[in-house]
Structure 1
Amino acid sequence: MTPPPIFEHKDARLGTFALRALDPAADAALLHGWVTHPKASYWMMQEADEAEVTAEYRRIHEHPHHEAFIGLHEGRPAFLAERYDPSRVELAGLYPARPGDVGMHFLCAPADTPVHGFTLAVINAVMEFCFSDPHVRRVVVEPDVRNDAVHALNAAVGFEIVEQIAKPEKDAYLSICTRERFEAARTALAADASRTARTERINRDARTERTERTEPTARTEPTARTEQTARTDRDAQGVTR
């Protein structure tokens, strides 16, 4: 039986995102297809077979400080998310941990037809999930230094790069997002989306009002934030690995 959702997030444009507990056995085939896809290279499981994927997520399932979830979009599996204690997992001894820190990873499922803004909506949902715990004050991540698309995406939701750190498997940018920075970034993104929707509506109305006189139609002027996040939609997959 599929576990029920434990968290839901409504995106004004793309609909409902949710998270449910991951079942290492039942979800193994699904996960294997995601983590071994060419676009998931930063997830670092490209060569894993299904048994190895099952074993890895069983280990996470049984870990007292690490959890994994299947993310849903409109009820269908669409992304993978992990939540962990960075003072004990991934970053133990590598940064000055504080009470209220939580770490996260997420991976969007491969898609034949990318949806504009989807990856940004997913990271927003995962961040909302992390901050839904009132004890969480900061989200801490450690993406590969080479993953430029992910750094832009992280910046769009409020992350700041603190320093470069050396992990056994990669060089990473230790990046931190406070609750306050996430709230400010979310407000700015909502304002950008509202302006874009309004301009698109003006353009649409102008096109339908066909007259002999040519009237200039409004044109969306992308903000630096929307330009930055748009570049991530094509290739941002394993965001924090």
Structure 2
Amino acid sequence: MSTATTTTFVPVDPDADAALLHAWVTHPRSVYWQMQDATVEDVRTEYARIAADPHHRAFLGHVDGRPALLAEVYDPAHSELAGVYDVLPGDRGMHVLVAPTDTPVHGFTDRAFAAVMRLVLDDPAVARVVVEPDVRNAGIALKNAKAGFVVDRAVELGVKRAALSFCTREQFAASPLGGDL
């Protein structure tokens, strides 16, 4: 069986994608998205807010033509990270959610995560990717490390204690997920 996949990204359409995203963000495996009790309307409203924000973008990732992941890309200087660390020119924040499934495919999450990193790093102005996952999220901690992220420190962000982490282009390229940029 081939593991080759084609991943494409399109901006989230809050109206058209709300029901699909609702199923993903309220799934028990998505607890760290902090939307467990959200309604479809709550999800539509949140992604409409993101769509209207010039410093935050959300993308629906399609793998081989099927929706399979959600990626958010944001400017940390215009986020809850502003004032938490010294934001550098070229910093870009990222969130990733791989769609929950009952039939996991070996290596799929690695390929999806790498595709999102490439999406972010396709912008030549980006020098470093910033993530701030909940410190209790062991799964994403492993995935971040595999992509070359280095934890800087734990920080308090609203309702979570987050592992503020950074990954440069060079760190990603040298990582098991990076390969050729």
TM norm structure 2: 0.95
The residue that corresponds to 1:116 in the other structure is 106
Of residues 54, 63, 82, the one that matches 2:44 is 54
1:109-188 map, 5 Å: 109-186=99-176
Where 1:87 maps in the other structure, the secondary structure is helix
The residue that corresponds to 1:72 in the other structure is 62
TM norm structure 1: 0.72
Q: CA deviation at 1:14?
A: 3.5
Q: Which has the higher contact order (CA 8 A, sep 6+)?
A: 1
2: CA distance between counterparts of 1:80 and 1:31? 8
The residue that corresponds to 1:97 in the other structure is 87
Q: CA deviation at 1:90?
A: 2.9
Deviations 1:131-161 (A, max 9, x none): 1011100000000000111111100010000
1: CA distance between counterparts of 2:70 and 2:172? 21
Q: Is the Cα contact below 8 Å between 1:100 and 1:135 reproduced in 2?
A: yes
More strand by share: 2
1: CA distance between counterparts of 2:176 and 2:103? 26
Letter in 1 for 2:81: L
Letter in 2 for 1:134: P
2: CA distance between counterparts of 1:90 and 1:176? 16
Where 1:91 maps in the other structure, the secondary structure is coil
Of residues 4, 8, 23, the one that matches 1:14 is 4
Letter in 2 for 1:24: P
1: CA distance between counterparts of 2:55 and 2:159? 20
Pair member with larger Rg: 1
Deviations 1:159-199 (A, max 9, x none): 00001101111000100000100011147x76xxxxxxxxx
Count matched residues.
Answer: 178
**1:38 has 2:28 as partner:** yes
Letter in 2 for 1:71: G
Letter in 2 for 1:55: T
The residue that corresponds to 1:233 in the other structure is none
2: CA distance between counterparts of 1:48 and 1:151? 25
Q: Is the Cα contact below 8 Å between 1:61 and 1:67 reproduced in 2?
A: yes
Q: Is the Cα contact below 8 Å between 1:161 and 1:176 reproduced in 2?
A: yes
1: CA distance between counterparts of 2:86 and 2:107? 33
- Gaps spanning 5+ residues in structure 2: where? none
The residue that corresponds to 2:14 in the other structure is 24
Letter in 2 for 1:160: V
The residue that corresponds to 1:228 in the other structure is none
2: CA distance between counterparts of 1:116 and 1:25? 32
- Gaps spanning 5+ residues in structure 1: where? 1-11, 191-241
1: CA distance between counterparts of 2:36 and 2:143? 23
